[in-house]
């Protein structure tokens, strides 16, 4: 059994299709989405439709939440807010209903999935350091939990203390706990423009980081043609 675990698509259809093709080539049998299907980029409806038809386990992200509200709750910066208002206008009522109904946290087989944190998932905090990760570990009852939200792939490992490490090909030791950020499909922020996701090889107990090139120029052109902030197109090229 091989899971493709992907997060933070952010309405980037070109990146999503490239990731799904790579997952199929790598013989993934199952798919899991960690939220933020929409926001920032130009294909929110198409990405919702694509993920919906996959009918895979999924949790809600903060952009999914904001896009499904009638009005914003002032949590977003100016650029994210401009994009989320545009997104609301480009989603159907059925899309919004589906986004609204997503759960904050789920268990899939023997692992957990959440968008932001396990300690207060509805507050959308960011896990960037060992202290943030330690708070989530307190509420983690499975060996492995996958999360998103920061758009920066990294693994936190709890043994005696908490350590941060690169994923690459991470072997899962059942005597430890792992809080793993798969990185972002549609708006990476670790200075690498390629779409990020992870493959979880269940039998081999290995989590593998994947990076996938996609049709960046088309994704950028759609953002500009849609009248979304130009910076949203520019940041994709530098992975920021």
- Residues at the interface with Zn ion (CB under 5 A): 8, 36
| Secondary-structure breakdown of the chain: helix, strand, coil percentages, each rounded to the nearest 5 | 35, 25, 45
In angstroms, the CA 206 to CA 144 distance is 11
Minimum distance between the CB of residue 62 and Zn ion, rounded to whole angstroms?
A: 7
Q: Which is nearer to Zn ion, 149 or 177 (CB)?
A: 149
Minimum distance between the CB of residue 151 and Zn ion, rounded to whole angstroms?
A: 6
Place of tokens 């570990």: 137
Q: Which is nearer to Zn ion, 8 or 190 (CB)?
A: 8
Minimum distance between the CB of residue 61 and Zn ion, rounded to whole angstroms?
A: 6
Q: Which is nearer to Zn ion, 8 or 65 (CB)?
A: 8
Minimum distance between the CB of residue 39 and Zn ion, rounded to whole angstroms?
A: 7
Three-class secondary structure of residue 158 per DSSP: strand
SS3 string, 35-68, reads CCCCCCCCCHHHHHHHHHHHCCCEECCHHHHHHH
In angstroms, the CA 87 to CA 158 distance is 38
Q: Which is nearer to Zn ion, 149 or 158 (CB)?
A: 149
């Amino acid at each position: 059994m091989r899971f493709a675990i992907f997060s933070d698509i952010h309405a980037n259809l070109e990146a999503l299709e490239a990731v799904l093709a790579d997952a199929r080539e790598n013989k993934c049998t199952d798919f899991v989405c960690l939220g933020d299907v929409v926001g920032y980029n130009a294909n929110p409806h198409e990405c919702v439709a694509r993920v919906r038809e996959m009918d895979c386990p999924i949790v809600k992200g903060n952009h999914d939440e904001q896009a499904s509200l009638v009005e914003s709750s002032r949590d977003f910066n100016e650029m994210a807010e401009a994009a989320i208002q545009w997104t609301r206008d480009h989603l159907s009522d059925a899309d919004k209903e589906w986004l609204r109904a997503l759960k904050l946290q789920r268990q899939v087989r023997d692992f957990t999935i959440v968008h932001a944190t396990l300690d207060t998932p509805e507050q959308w905090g960011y896990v960037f350091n060992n202290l943030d990760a330690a708070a989530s570990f307190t509420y983690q009852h499975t060996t492995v939990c996958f999360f998103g939200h920061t758009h920066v792939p990294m693994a936190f490992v709890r043994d005696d203390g908490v350590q941060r490490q690169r994923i690459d090909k991470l072997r899962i030791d059942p005597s430890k706990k792992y809080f793993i950020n798969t990185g972002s499909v549609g708006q990476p922020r670790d200075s690498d423009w390629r779409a990020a996701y992870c493959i979880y090889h269940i039998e081999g107990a290995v989590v593998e980081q994947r990076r996938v090139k996609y049709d960046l120029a088309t994704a950028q052109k759609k953002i500009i043609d849609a009248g979304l902030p130009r910076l949203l197109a520019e940041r994709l090229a530098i992975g920021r």
